[in-house]
Amino acid sequence: MASDLAFSIVCVWSFVSPIVGMPPFLSSRAQLLNDDSSYATGSNVELKGKEWAVNDLLMMLKLEEISEGLKTSLYPPAVHFFQTKASIDKSGVFEIIRIMPKGAILHVHDDSLVDLSWLIRNVTYRPGCYMCFTRKRGNVIFKFHEKEPAADEECDWKLVKTERSNYVDADEFDNMLENNISLIVEDPTNFYKNQYDVWSYFTDFFQSFRSLFSYSDVMQDAYYEGLRQFHEDGAQFVEIRSALPPVYDLDGTTYDEEYTLGKLEEANIMFLDDYSDSMGSKVIYSRTNLLMRNYFYVYLCHCRDKDRVTMKSKIELAMTFYQKYPDFVSGFDIVKHENLYNPLLFYWEELQMPSNTGVDLPYFFHASETNWQGSSADENLFDAILLNAKRIGHAYGAVKHPVLLNELKKKDIPIEISPISGQVLKHFYDLRNHPASHMLSHGYPVVVSSDNRAAWGASPASHDFYELFMGIASVKADLRLLKQLAMDSIR
Amino acid sequence: MASDLAFSIVCVWSFVSPIVGMPPFLSSRAQLLNDDSSYATGSNVELKGKEWAVNDLLMMLKLEEISEGLKTSLYPPAVHFFQTKASIDKSGVFEIIRIMPKGAILHVHDDSLVDLSWLIRNVTYRPGCYMCFTRKRGNVIFKFHEKEPAADEECDWKLVKTERSNYVDADEFDNMLENNISLIVEDPTNFYKNQYDVWSYFTDFFQSFRSLFSYSDVMQDAYYEGLRQFHEDGAQFVEIRSALPPVYDLDGTTYDEEYTLGKLEEANIMFLDDYSDSMGSKVIYSRTNLLMRNYFYVYLCHCRDKDRVTMKSKIELAMTFYQKYPDFVSGFDIVKHENLYNPLLFYWEELQMPSNTGVDLPYFFHASETNWQGSSADENLFDAILLNAKRIGHAYGAVKHPVLLNELKKKDIPIEISPISGQVLKHFYDLRNHPASHMLSHGYPVVVSSDNRAAWGASPASHDFYELFMGIASVKADLRLLKQLAMDSIR
């Protein structure tokens, strides 16, 4: 192909040092391009042996897919994931990325660790599984119980087995369940009107997912299976944010956070026994932020006492867990839609407790998962950095804060980037405009992750790596970027 | 309103220096916010006298509109302009921006200087005006002629006057013409499938607009009326990119570039006579790039000779114009869809001619009006800077090139930002993700402009200033930003 040749020429002209005898204009140009690309993530990586051949193949395929995208304007990263997943799955670049080692995947929620297909095709077949479509929203939720649970405000419970038997084809029934829980729709742009709209379906998803995941007999299996899926997709390690939700038994008994943590740790140990080439997983205890706030209202008065007391007890719990399970608990986070819930500033005194009492508790905050520069959601970034967060989730606004960018580089705080999450939750449409593009070209530390991938049917890591490599990074970014990202995530 | 009060508190906490006795965490936080915002465009501006009161009002209204947007997720800058123009027109912030002086508007094309309403409701009423709907695309084009022009490959010509008289209501007919030419549609997201799709309608728009604008009796009036509209909207000066299209007469005679230039200069002088408080306008001679190229193909061979010869002659012409009309011609540009047409690199030898021969010819290039980082369209930025461009149009990729950002600051090269243009041409949807957001927060030089505003029914400047102020800039950006932008544009 002529375009392959041309691309090689472009690459050569971009990366080579000025050649003796080159006209001064072209020489200055090559120097400027050289200087510029030397900042990019991966530019200092050296490829070895066979990696050169892989890179040649990777870049040939990348160029072909870009050329095709330029012709059709249907370039996958510029189009919604739901509408391009099928074509990504056929992509040659994706095939290479799929089999590559991806290092550590560091921003994953427990209620998306395992895919929906497994939950439905394995868990809902177990005895004692009841289901209902909620009266308000129509999303399906499940309950394991000894006998048919009594109807309640939200539900008339039916045995899944009976419901399934009413269908000629069990597969059709299972697909119906999966479609009900998943966010995937044919025309996401029009179906989800705005960020709040997609978040309301996202909340339904959590309710459905957790109703299966929180059953005591399921949780360990699901955690193990999730780790297996990540391992199969090239992850060497997974760090999982969990609210440590109350596990329930067949008779309705529920247990506390430490019981849940114990269940997960056992699953992790079983997994490590079976997969000795894996580094397994750790858990970030993630407190769900419960108090909705007035828009832009930053509480500086004493009316916030009740919620602060609860948060204080959760931070104390996190400190205990971190000391008691040093090999399994890595730290603490607060999660929820930032534009609607209390900012970190609300809890600044509680969040200083560990450092004030000389107890170590690493923080891994979500911050600035918002398009509103200068809002209190955006300013969570300032607090995350002041509170010495080890990594920060999303941080869409970081590129708009020069002083914070310096801090991220100086303190080596990576941003956890989940490309598809940002698209599905309507922060971006065309991923080529994702702010991580700026971070990669300037060499700020980032790690790639899949967030709540089960909600949108993405693979544990490969789809997000594909979107980043093809859409967020430069056209010229090559294997060196992917290698750097994997190395950084492990470090 | 409680939220107003809250916002004031946020503002105070953000901008004040640390207060003696403040808890150390809050003091460090205030310091960090302070340091960060000190980089932003406008942060060093001082407000005087009445400006303080205007700023209070402006920020109160801004907060109200943001609060409303947070509630509904229908915040104008986050939604397509076609669907929010009506609500912007009712906005209190817009009302203030509308009456504010806006300095110089420096990125406007001659074929969008005057609005469509005037062209249709004035020009098409003139004698000898014929119209046709083109056979291929169905867009309406016009021709002034002594008698009915013969049918040709594209057209069956009809007298506008006769066609209009077939309608009961002339207004209905005029609206039909305006809708045909304009890009405005009810549901732009679904109507325009991708960038190429919207560009094909954009090309139709140019054809329609120019068919009226290029008639010798119309050009001067249209230019004058355009300047009047910009003046009325608060512009003190306008710099207009023009290809100096061949003007035609009733008998079909056409004239050369210098004739067109003369016509425009006369209109400018008439305007300055009538509006002594204005600084009038200047023209950037903008050569339309004609040769489509293979994707990513950067020509380094000699097959490009023919097009280079033509370009050389146009640059020579620009050099002549710049010397002969120093008060009216400000420089040279090359325009066209960058992803499809030759990059600047193609003409690097020709473009060096002025500096090689010691003749001054300022450049004002379009560069990186693309989402493709690392493509040759994106790399036009490198060439624009190496060729000492005085300003650069769009430059969407600039934020992804650390070395170029330094150059822009060091050499004080402003980027010309046209927010609505980027949205209509499908580079961005939510303007809060516009890369200029990064430029404003880091204090890189930018100017605001309206590009081809007639195609999308925007005002000469106010709508773009609104989108920038409310969407691209920080929630906290205030009158000082607007003042800085106006001052920078004049400088």
| A315-367 pLDDT, tens digit each | 999 999 999 999 999 999 998 888 888 889 989 999 999 999 999 999 999 99
- Whether the CB of A29 is below 8 Å from some CB of chain B: the reply is yes
Question: pLDDT tens-digit profile of A239-279?
Answer: 999 999 999 999 889 999 999 999 999 999 999 999 999 99
Residues of B within 8 A of A3 (CB-CB) are 294-297
Quick check: B469 and B481 in contact, CB under 8 A?
Answer: yes
Q: At what angle do helices A24-37 and B376-386 cross, to 10 degrees?
A: 120
Mean pLDDT over each residue of chain B, to the nearest integer: 92
pLDDT at B307: 79
Give the pLDDT confidence of A171-204 residue by residue, as tens digits.
999 999 999 999 999 999 999 999 989 999 999 9
pLDDT of B132 strictly over 50: yes
User: How much is the pLDDT for B21?
Assistant: 75
Nearest residue, CB atoms, A432 vs list B35, B371, B477 = B371
CA-closest candidate to residue A101, choices A59, A54, A57, A60: A54
Query: Read out DSSP for A379-443?
Result: HHHHHHHHTT-SEEEE-TTGGG-HHHHHHHHHTT--EEE-HHHHHHTTS-SSGGG-THHHHHHHT
Integer Cα distance of A448 and A103 in angstroms: 10
For chain B, positions 291-310, list CB contacts with chain A under 8 A: 294-298, 300
- In whole angstroms, what is the distance from residue B249 CA to residue B238 CA? 27
Nearest to B437 by CA among B188, B78, B15: B78
pLDDT at res. A491? 80
Following CA atoms A132, A133, A137, A139 in sequence, which dihedral angle do they give, to the nearest 10 degrees?
90
Q: Is B477 within 8 Å of chain A by CB?
A: yes
Q: What is the pLDDT of residue B126?
A: 97
Other Cβ atoms less than 10 A from the Cβ of B90: the count is: 8
Nearest beta carbon to residue B296 from set A7, A29, A403: A7
pLDDT band of residue B338 (cuts 50, 70, 90) is confident
Chain A residues with beta carbon closer than 8 angstroms to that of B72? 194
Q: Chain B within 8 Å of A398 (Cβ-Cβ)?
A: no
Q: What is the mean pLDDT of residues B166-182?
A: 97
Residue B89 makes CB contacts below 8 A (sequence gap 6+) with none
A373–chain B Cβ distance below 8 A for any pair:
yes
Task: Give whole-number Cα distances, A253 to A110, A147, A210, A246, A249, in Å.
Answer: 21, 14, 16, 10, 5
Cα–Cα dist B189/B208, whole Å:
23
Q: How confident is the model at residue A296 (pLDDT cuts 50, 70, 90)?
A: very low
List of residues 6+ apart from A253 with CB closer than 8 A = none
Strands (E), B341-436: 364-367, 391-394, 415-417
pLDDT tier for residue A131 given thresholds of 50, 70 and 90 = very high
Q: What is the mean pLDDT of chain A?
A: 92
First to last CA, chain B: 40
Residue A332 contacts residue A363 (beta carbons within 8 Å): yes
Q: In the β-sheet with A415-417, what is the strand arrangement from edge to edge?
A: A364-367, A391-394, A415-417, A446-448
**pLDDT over 70 (residue B427):** yes
How many Å apart are CA B117 and CA B129, to the nearest integer?
Answer: 16
User: Using CA atoms, how far apart are residues B412 and B390, in angstroms rounded to an integer?
Assistant: 8
R_g of chain A, CA atoms, integer Å: 24
d(CA A178, CA A209): 10
Mean pLDDT score, A167-171: 96
Taking the C-alpha atoms of residue A301 and residue B121, their distance in angstroms, rounded to an integer, is 60
Residues 6+ apart with CB under 8 A from B416: B106, B107, B391, B392, B393, B394, B395, B446, B447, B449
Q: Report the C-alpha gap between A42 and A59 in whole angstroms.
A: 15
**Least Cα separation, residue B350 to chain A (angstroms):** 12
> Among A9, A36, A386, whose Cβ lies nearest the Cβ of B28?
A386
Q: Rounded to an integer, what is the distance from CA B220 to the centroid of its chain?
A: 21
* pLDDT value at A305 more than 80: no
The answer to whether B448 and B481 are in contact (CB under 8 A) is no
Q: What is the pLDDT of residue A308?
A: 85
SS3 A108: strand
Please check the confidence at residue B292 and state whether its pLDDT lies above 70.
no
B74 touching A (Cβ < 8 Å): yes
Q: Which of A193-207, B123-137, B289-303 has the lowest mean pLDDT?
A: B289-303
A369 among known catalytic residues: yes
Mean pLDDT of B23-46: 95
* Per-residue tokens: A147: 């006998």
Q: Are B467 and B451 in contact (CB under 8 A)?
A: no
Strands A235-242 and B446-448: unpaired
| A119 vs A178: CA distance, rounded Å | 9
Please state, in angstroms and rounded to a whole number, the distance separating the CA atoms of residues A151 and A128. 16
From A350, A369, A407, A467, the catalytic residue: A369
Listed in sequence order, the residues at least 6 apart from A37 whose beta carbon sits closer than 8 Å to its beta carbon are A14, A15, A43, A474, A476
* Phi, psi for residue A159 in degrees, rounded to 5: -70, 130
Mean of the pLDDT values across residues B179-205? 95
Inter-axis angle of helices A402-410 and A376-386, nearest 10: 30
* Listed residue (B382, B387, B377) closest to B406, CA to CA: B382
Mean pLDDT (whole number) for B388-395: 98
Residue B264, token pair as written in the block: 């425009």
Share of chain B above pLDDT 90, in %: 85
Helix pair B216-232, B257-274: axis angle to 10 deg: 40
Q: Could you tell me if A476 lies within 8 Å of chain B, comparing CB atoms?
A: yes
Which chain B residue has the Cα nearest residue A9? B298
pLDDT at residue B4, rounded to an integer: 37
List helix spans (H) across B395-461: 402-410, 419-424, 436-442, 453-456
What do you get for the CA distance between the two ends of chain A, in Å? 40
Report percent pLDDT > 70 for chain B. 93
Least confident of A120-134, A188-202, A308-322, B337-351: B337-351
CB contact under 8 A, A429 and B429: yes
C-alpha dist (Å) from residue B27 to A351, A386, B34, B43: 16, 11, 10, 20
Question: Which residue ranges form the domains of chain B, and what is each CATH number?
Answer: 1-38 (no CATH), 103-114+197-490 (3.20.20.140), 119-191 (no CATH)
Residue among A107, A145, A394, A463 flagged as catalytic: A394
**Is a pLDDT exceeding 80 seen at residue A489?**
yes
Which residues lie below 8 Å from residue A318, measured CB to CB, with a gap of 6+?
Answer: A285, A287, A329, A331, A332, A361
**Rounded Cα–Cα distance for residues B49 and B68 (Å):** 30
Residue B303 pLDDT exceeds 60: no
Which residues of B are annotated as catalytic?
Answer: 369, 394
Specify the length of chain B in residues: 491
Helix (H, G, I), strand (E, B) or coil at B73: coil
| Residues B457/B89, Cβ–Cβ less than 8 Å | no
**Secondary structure E strands in B37-177:** 103-109, 129-133, 140-144, 158-159
Q: Are A154 and A135 in contact (CB under 8 A)?
A: yes
List pLDDT tens digits, range A363-392. Answer: 999 999 999 999 989 999 999 999 999 999
Q: Other C-beta atoms within 10 Å of A2: how many?
A: 10
Does the pLDDT of residue B53 top 70, yes or no? Answer: yes
Q: What is the pLDDT of residue A73?
A: 77
* A302 catalytic per annotation: no
Query: In which band, very low, low, confident or very high, does the pLDDT at A230 lie, cut at 50, 70 and 90?
Result: very high
| Helix ranges (DSSP H) in A166-304 | 170-181, 188-191, 195-213, 216-232, 257-274
d(Cα B62, Cα B58) in Å, to the nearest integer?
Answer: 6
The closest of A133, A139, A129 to A159, measured between CA atoms, is A129
Closest Cα in chain B to A195: B73
User: Are the C-beta atoms of residues B416 and B391 closer than 8 Å to each other?
Assistant: yes
Half-sphere exposure of B26 (CA within 13 A, CB side): 17
Closest CB from B35, B373, B475 relative to A403: B35
Six-digit token string for A177: 């369940």
Least confident of A8-17, A368-377, B25-34, B235-244: A8-17
The shortest C-alpha distance from A38 to chain B (Å) reads 10
Within an 8 Å CB–CB cutoff, is residue B186 touching chain A? no
pLDDT of the residue at B392: 98
The whole-angstrom distance between residue A97's C-alpha and the CA centroid of its chain comes to: 17
Residues A472, B433: Cα–Cα separation, whole Å = 14
β-bridge mates for residue A323, sequence order: none
Distance from CA of A298 to the nearest CA of B (A): 7
Map residue B288 onto helix, strand or coil: strand
Residue in the structure block whose two tokens are 């990325």: A97
CA distance B32 to chain A (A): 7
A160 SS3 class: helix
Q: Measured between CA atoms, how close is B371 to chain A, in angstroms?
A: 6
Give the number of residues written for chain A: 491
